[in-house]
């Protein structure tokens, strides 16, 4: 289990409580920025891995085809209640799902998910995203990160995150580079109402999966 679920974190398991917490931190303004980075228009397809209550969908243009899945049944229910037929939502774990029947996507999004996953889980997410993406598509990830010169408040908040696999930007990028030929990592600060440091990855040019088993001579 790569995320904390006891004590105060139990409260965040409810979709409404998680969303209220995100809103208090200023996530709405940040989601507008994410939507601009995604740069999608009507007719394009977005897959949101670990979508939570799918708050990002409020900021995507009408006509975007949105698919989101999450391990949490409560968050998936909150996404359905909030957006109805505007998106497709289902419960699944990154490590145990196949998306082959869904076709290719223009963008894959994983906002705040990699730091909930150990290295095997993070590799599974990158495998899923690379396989689901159109060759010209982009995987965008966002996660809290360790960074030089980080303030004590940001460090303290990140140390108490539910996700237990926070890395530095290089650590996130190294995992993505196994499945993407072009990975751009950016450290962002000042995007929430509290001091916070996060890594944004823009991953392009998905690679074919590594061959399994012995290589024939």
Selected binder of ligand SAM within 15, 87, 112, 137 (CB under 6 A): 112
Give the Cα separation of 1 and 149 in Å (integer). Answer: 30
Is 74 among the residues that bind ligand SAM (CB under 6 A)?
A: no
Selected binder of ligand SAM within 35, 46, 51, 192 (CB under 6 A): 51
Selected binder of ligand SAM within 116, 144, 175, 203 (CB under 6 A): 116
- Within 8 A by CB and 6+ apart from 132, the residues are 47, 99, 102, 104, 105, 108
Q: What SS3 class is residue 48? A: strand
- Within 8 A by CB and 6+ apart from 159, the residues are 166
| Tally of helices (H runs) and strands (E runs) in the chain | 6, 8
65-73, 81-89, 164-172, 174-182 -> range binding ligand SAM (CB under 6 A): 65-73
Is 111 among the residues that bind ligand SAM (CB under 6 A)?
A: yes
Is 94 among the residues that bind ligand SAM (CB under 6 A)?
A: yes
Token couple for 164: 């237990």
Is 15 among the residues that bind ligand SAM (CB under 6 A)?
A: no
Is 52 among the residues that bind ligand SAM (CB under 6 A)?
A: yes
- CA atoms within 13 Å, Cβ hemisphere of 23: 10
70-78, 130-138, 166-174, 201-209 -> range binding ligand SAM (CB under 6 A): 70-78
Is 172 among the residues that bind ligand SAM (CB under 6 A)?
A: no
Give the Cα separation of 89 and 52 in Å (integer). Answer: 10
Query: Which residues would be at the binding site for ligand SAM (CB under 6 A)?
Result: 3, 22, 50-52, 55, 70-72, 75, 93-95, 111-113, 116-117, 121
């Amino acid at each position: 289990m790569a995320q904390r679920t006891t004590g105060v974190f139990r409260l965040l398991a409810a979709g409404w409580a998680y969303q209220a917490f995100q809103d208090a931190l200023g996530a709405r303004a940040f989601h507008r920025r994410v939507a601009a980075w995604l740069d999608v228009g009507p007719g394009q397809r977005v897959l949101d891995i670990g979508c939570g209550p799918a708050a990002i969908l409020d900021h995507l243009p009408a006509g975007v085809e949105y698919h989101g899945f999450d391990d949490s049944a409560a968050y998936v229910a909150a996404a359905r209640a909030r957006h109805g037929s505007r998106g497709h939502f289902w419960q699944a774990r990154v490590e145990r799902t196949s998306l082959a029947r869904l076709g290719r996507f223009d963008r894959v999004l994983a906002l705040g998910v990699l730091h909930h996953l150990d290295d095997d889980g993070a590799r599974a997410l990158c495998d899923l995203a690379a396989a689901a993406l159109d060759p010209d598509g982009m995987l965008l990830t966002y996660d809290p990160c360790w960074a030089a010169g980080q303030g004590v408040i940001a460090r303290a908040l990140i140390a108490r995150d539910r996700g237990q696999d926070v890395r530095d930007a290089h650590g996130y990028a190294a995992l993505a580079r196994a499945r993407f030929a072009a990975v751009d990592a950016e450290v962002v600060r000042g995007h929430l109402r509290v001091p916070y440091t996060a890594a944004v990855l823009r991953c392009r040019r998905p690679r074919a999966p590594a061959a399994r088993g012995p290589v024939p001579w």
